[in-house]
Structure 1
Amino acid sequence: MTSISPSEAQPEGAFLSRSTWLPFALMAGFFLAIKAVMSFTMNPIGDEAYYWLWGQHLALSYFDHPPLHAWLLRLVDAIFGWNLISLRLLTWVTFLASLAVFWSWARRLAPDAPAAHFWRMLCIYLASPLFLGMSTIAFNDHLMIALVIGSAHFMLLFAERWEVGRKGYGFLYLSATLLGLAVLTKYNAVFLGLGYVAFFLFRPTLRPLFKNPHTYLAGLLSVAIQLPVFYWNLIEGLASYRFHFTERWSGPLQLSWQAPILFIFVALIVISPFAAFGVARYFARRPEGEFAARAKQLAACVFTLSSFAMLILASFAEVFFYWNIVASLLLLPLAVRAIGTRWVFWLHMLYGGGMALLLVFNQAVAPVGNLFGAYDWTIASTYGWDEIGREVEAVRKEHPDAFVATSFYTTAAQLGFVIGDADVVALSPRHDQFDFWFDPGAHRGRDAIIVADPYFPIDNAAGLFESITPLKEMQILSYGRVIYSPTIYLAKGFRPPTPR
């Protein structure tokens, strides 16, 4: 068994055993309060509303992502109705599922003080802006996070039993099922599966699994869960794969040495530089106990493969920080002793607390940049949709046969969400999921009520109609400043291009 000397273990071990769980529970309570405020007061972000509309148009898969999250959103709608609470209800379910795994890990990593370890683990996790945000916002990520954590947990239980001569194949197949569901939620969960391959390869006691048929049957189970995605892409001309591999890149791929550095810098900001420092210490230290050693090796495999792939991709194209979320997902809850020393822990808490307050103000009160003369359309365009929706509904009473549209996919989803209409569409040159729902030919000759803004103007949609008339210019205000300025138009005589 891997061991560590008392002198090496004493600083963190003593700090942990002397501490009660209550101070850390109170600190975690602060972040949970922020999460609750965001969940129940924050305006729907464009992609949140977009995925909600996916659930209203059930399909085997979707253009941007696999279908599992949309399917579950439709289930939530059927049970709890169409409202803001329903939109983010699943984020609490997946969050609680993650906490159940964290508690199990705390009992194994700190059997003498599991409660203190658990609450410190939760503080570290929630103080990371990346994980506070992605476990609260109803993107596909929150579901993928819970499934990845659950799959990794059962893989570790399987490995534990295998190494002591017990088979435990049930845990292997359960891990494979959750992995398959994670990939059915978001494609980048595939890095967990690649991490399992590396885990089996680099851990000598697990190498015999490459000769075991159950390993391949479990892998086939994960792949079989993707059949809805495979079939949808087959009948839709590989639409999702073409989008991710070619269409989403705005220009030709060019080698850049600066882009990977920027990617790392942004990753440090969203994870927390102090947590990143603690993770570096975690990698440098010898783990205490077999479970800690096994979990560290799995986390290292996943982190290395995912991060290396993203750095290579970032050398040629724009890569968003959340694409690499799987890399650090296992590390933060496992690195509690390395991040949890007094000065690293409290600096991480201060950083995370400040970022959490900034996040909730930015999303629920006013866009911070707009208040200081900058303009962030992505955040600004989440404001004012209740008011915009009321104006659109008033116009629709006068033109009941007109369909409703906007000039971009996120605004179409936000408007559709607030007026409870799943048939609002985006008339945009950008290829998106609305292209699979909207039948231009069936709407030929009809009028439309269109919402556009200066960032995504009416120009593209105007060319599809006989005439366009502005009806109302709106100004969404916060603290006396205009943060969003959409215009409502009445478009006459829809004339879509003739299909080639």
Structure 2
Amino acid sequence: MRPSAILRLIAVTTLIRLAFAATTGLGVDESYMVTSGRVLSLGYFDHPPASWWLSWGAAHGFGTEAPWAVRLPFILLFALSQLLVWRITCRVADQRAGFWAVLALNLSPVFGVTTGTWVLPDGPLDAALLGAVLCLLHALPATGRRALGWWAGAGLCAGLALFSKYSAVLTVGGAFLYLLTSRAHRHWLRRPEPYIAVIVAAAVFSPVVIWNAMHGWASFAFQGARATGLRFRPLLPLQTLAGEALFVLPWVWVPMMILLVSGFRRGETWPRRLLVWLAAPPVVGFALISAWSSQRVLYHWAAPGYLMLFPLLGDAVARRLDRVWVRGLFAGTAALVIASLAVIATQLNFDWLGGRLGAIMRNDPTAEGLDWTSVRDDLLARGLLPPGAVVAALNWRDAGKIGYALGPRTTILCLNTDSRQFGFTHRLSEYAGRTMLVLAVDPAGEASPWFHSIQTLPGTSVRLDGRTLRTVTVMRGEGLVPRP
């Protein structure tokens, strides 16, 4: 299969993502990242800086925080990720396998939709991890200066992966385990090149360490707490794996797990064994953590592990293309994914489903994917948003949605002991005694403990095509009293 085929695939899927990005609002996590990341920093409470810097740079470069603008870097990074998956698969198998690996990557929702489009740490994480893998595939059989260059490249990409998301350490650990168990490549542990790679990675990651040291190790503590707990639930790993299967797609996940297990058998080529060693720590690690963690393990956390298995999946598919059901499965999945994107985009623009989603789901998800501009328009019409206004919300999720809708000229505060990055972007102590607007999304939280007095004003709402999705209580708080 010619390289032009993969370039066409990347171009077409990138155009689809651009259209989807331009016709849908930012989700809760995206709004939170864009809003709380308006102040540039060496580090951030939730994650390392890469994704925050990308959205900040795009907003300032284009002069707008429109969804297509802040999402563009992540869409382009996924285009790069597709190219890297193809190159990796070409080294593991051949170009035809590479095409099918990239196509499967595009059709898996956790990669093709969320990682490939949204403002999340996973976009830069995946691109950097794939870059590190490609460098390793070149470095392990190389010698002399060429080997040093590839090892340094692997270190640089590993550092960028850690600079995107802390969980990259699991994949990096998988590379160490591979070297430890591989007779053919164990000698690298006695050579300086891997340790030079570690030094390069540490240098790239160092701003995160500096920020944490200056802020009481807040980010390390927050993420580290997710792996701690006091309860033992032996069946929960099965639930975690089942959730991951839904995110990846069950008919993609099952063959991946078979390839993961079979990849450890004797006689496998070293590139395939390298990939399964890179895949195993995230897949197995997060499943095990869910057995005792006091917090819920989210299903997309293990995605970097599954990412490493797409080259093996592409090779397996390419070997079975003579079977009609294989091509039919890909065609049906492509139709399902494109139809789903069309339903989401048209619903967020035309509300053609009305309240039907609320009738079958606990909460209508339309409000989460809609930008809350109706709230901004109401407040502006009432003269409640003068230049330099300070507005407070009662939790970080609502602060993100409200702050993004109100725009960068409005300062958004989060009146909650769990304020995430908002607690560092705008510290409440700097606004002590101030009078400000308080917006509480229904069901309204308690704002009175934060002020000397509270005045309730006529409310507003999040609306789409005349339908109210969320009611918003509007208050004026006088004399902010910051709490610990």
Normalised by the length of structure 1, the TM-score is 0.84
**Which ranges in structure 1 are unaligned for 5 or more consecutive residues?**
1-16
Aligned counterpart in structure 2 of residue 433 of structure 1, from 406, 421, 426: 421
Q: Assess if the C-alpha contact under 8 Å between 2:263 and 2:272 holds in 1.
A: no
Secondary structure (helix, strand or coil) at the match of 1:44 reads coil
Shift of the 298–401 alpha-carbon distance from structure 1 to 2, 3 Å rule, reads closer
Specify the alignment match of 2:479 in structure 1. 494
* Aligned-pair CA distance for 1:159: 1.3
* Aligned-pair CA distance for 1:426: 2.0
Return the alpha-carbon distance in structure 2 between the equivalents of residues 257 and 110 of structure 1: 38
Secondary structure (helix, strand or coil) at the match of 2:475 reads strand
Per-residue CA distance 1:43-68 (angstroms, 9 max, x = gap): 11122122223442111101000112
Shift of the 217–378 alpha-carbon distance from structure 1 to 2, 3 Å rule, reads farther
Kindly report which structure 2 residues correspond to 1:214-293, keeping only aligned pairs within 5 A, or say none: 214-246=193-225, 253-283=230-260, 293=269
Alignment RMSD? 3.2
Specify the alignment match of 2:88 in structure 1. 105
Aligned counterpart in structure 1 of residue 270 of structure 2, from 294, 308, 314: 294
* Aligned-pair CA distance for 1:84: 2.1
Per-residue CA distance 1:312-341 (angstroms, 9 max, x = gap): 211013211111111111111332132343
Kindly report which structure 2 residues correspond to 1:11-410, keeping only aligned pairs within 5 A, or say none: 32=14, 34-82=16-64, 83-109=66-92, 111=94, 114=95, 116-133=96-113, 134-162=115-143, 168-246=147-225, 253-283=230-260, 293-317=269-293, 318-340=296-318, 341=320, 342=323, 343-351=325-333, 353-359=335-341, 361-362=343-344, 365-366=347-348, 370-376=357-363, 380-397=367-384, 402-410=389-397
Q: Assess if the C-alpha contact under 8 Å between 1:97 and 1:146 holds in 2.
A: yes
Return the alpha-carbon distance in structure 2 between the equivalents of residues 459 and 121 of structure 1: 51
Return the alpha-carbon distance in structure 2 between the equivalents of residues 123 and 409 of structure 1: 36
Shift of the 458–364 alpha-carbon distance from structure 1 to 2, 3 Å rule, reads farther
Per-residue CA distance 1:267-315 (angstroms, 9 max, x = gap): 111111111233245457789xx9x933311221122222221122110
Secondary structure (helix, strand or coil) at the match of 1:445 reads coil
Q: Which region of structure 1 is more displaced relative to structure 2, 28-37 or 236-245?
A: 28-37
Kindly provide the amino acid, as one letter, of the partner of residue 83 in structure 2. Answer: A
Q: Assess if the C-alpha contact under 8 Å between 2:451 and 2:477 holds in 1.
A: no
Secondary structure (helix, strand or coil) at the match of 1:161 reads coil
Q: Assess if the C-alpha contact under 8 Å between 1:25 and 1:119 holds in 2.
A: no
Shift of the 370–462 alpha-carbon distance from structure 1 to 2, 3 Å rule, reads farther
Return the alpha-carbon distance in structure 2 between the equivalents of residues 446 and 190 of structure 1: 43
Per-residue CA distance 1:434-468 (angstroms, 9 max, x = gap): 1112232332333222222224x231466435013
Return the alpha-carbon distance in structure 2 between the equivalents of residues 286 and 182 of structure 1: 24
Return the alpha-carbon distance in structure 2 between the equivalents of residues 284 and 230 of structure 1: 36
Return the alpha-carbon distance in structure 2 between the equivalents of residues 419 and 475 of structure 1: 13
Kindly provide the amino acid, as one letter, of the partner of residue 239 in structure 1. Answer: A
Specify the alignment match of 1:467 in structure 2. 454
Q: Assess if the C-alpha contact under 8 Å between 1:406 and 1:450 holds in 2.
A: yes
Shift of the 206–461 alpha-carbon distance from structure 1 to 2, 3 Å rule, reads farther
Kindly provide the amino acid, as one letter, of the partner of residue 474 in structure 2. Answer: Y
* Aligned-pair CA distance for 1:416: 2.4
Secondary structure (helix, strand or coil) at the match of 2:140 reads helix
Return the alpha-carbon distance in structure 2 between the equivalents of residues 474 and 293 of structure 1: 59
Specify the alignment match of 1:10 in structure 2. none
Q: Assess if the C-alpha contact under 8 Å between 2:99 and 2:314 holds in 1.
A: no
Shift of the 494–339 alpha-carbon distance from structure 1 to 2, 3 Å rule, reads farther
Return the alpha-carbon distance in structure 1 between the equivalents of residues 388 and 371 of structure 2: 25
Shift of the 435–280 alpha-carbon distance from structure 1 to 2, 3 Å rule, reads closer
Return the alpha-carbon distance in structure 2 between the equivalents of residues 32 and 121 of structure 1: 16
Q: Assess if the C-alpha contact under 8 Å between 1:474 and 1:487 holds in 2.
A: yes
Specify the alignment match of 1:6 in structure 2. none
Q: Assess if the C-alpha contact under 8 Å between 1:125 and 1:333 holds in 2.
A: no
Secondary structure (helix, strand or coil) at the match of 1:432 reads coil
Aligned counterpart in structure 2 of residue 448 of structure 1, from 426, 429, 436: 436
Aligned length: 468
Kindly provide the amino acid, as one letter, of the partner of residue 495 in structure 1. Answer: L
Per-residue CA distance 1:74-116 (angstroms, 9 max, x = gap): 32233222222211010122122213323423544555xx3x4
Q: Which region of structure 1 is more displaced relative to structure 2, 37-46 or 363-372?
A: 363-372
Secondary structure (helix, strand or coil) at the match of 2:417 reads coil
Kindly provide the amino acid, as one letter, of the partner of residue 139 in structure 2. Answer: F
Kindly provide the amino acid, as one letter, of the partner of residue 416 in structure 2. Answer: S
Per-residue CA distance 1:211-239 (angstroms, 9 max, x = gap): 11222121122122221111111121111
Shift of the 392–160 alpha-carbon distance from structure 1 to 2, 3 Å rule, reads farther
Kindly provide the amino acid, as one letter, of the partner of residue 232 in structure 2. Answer: L
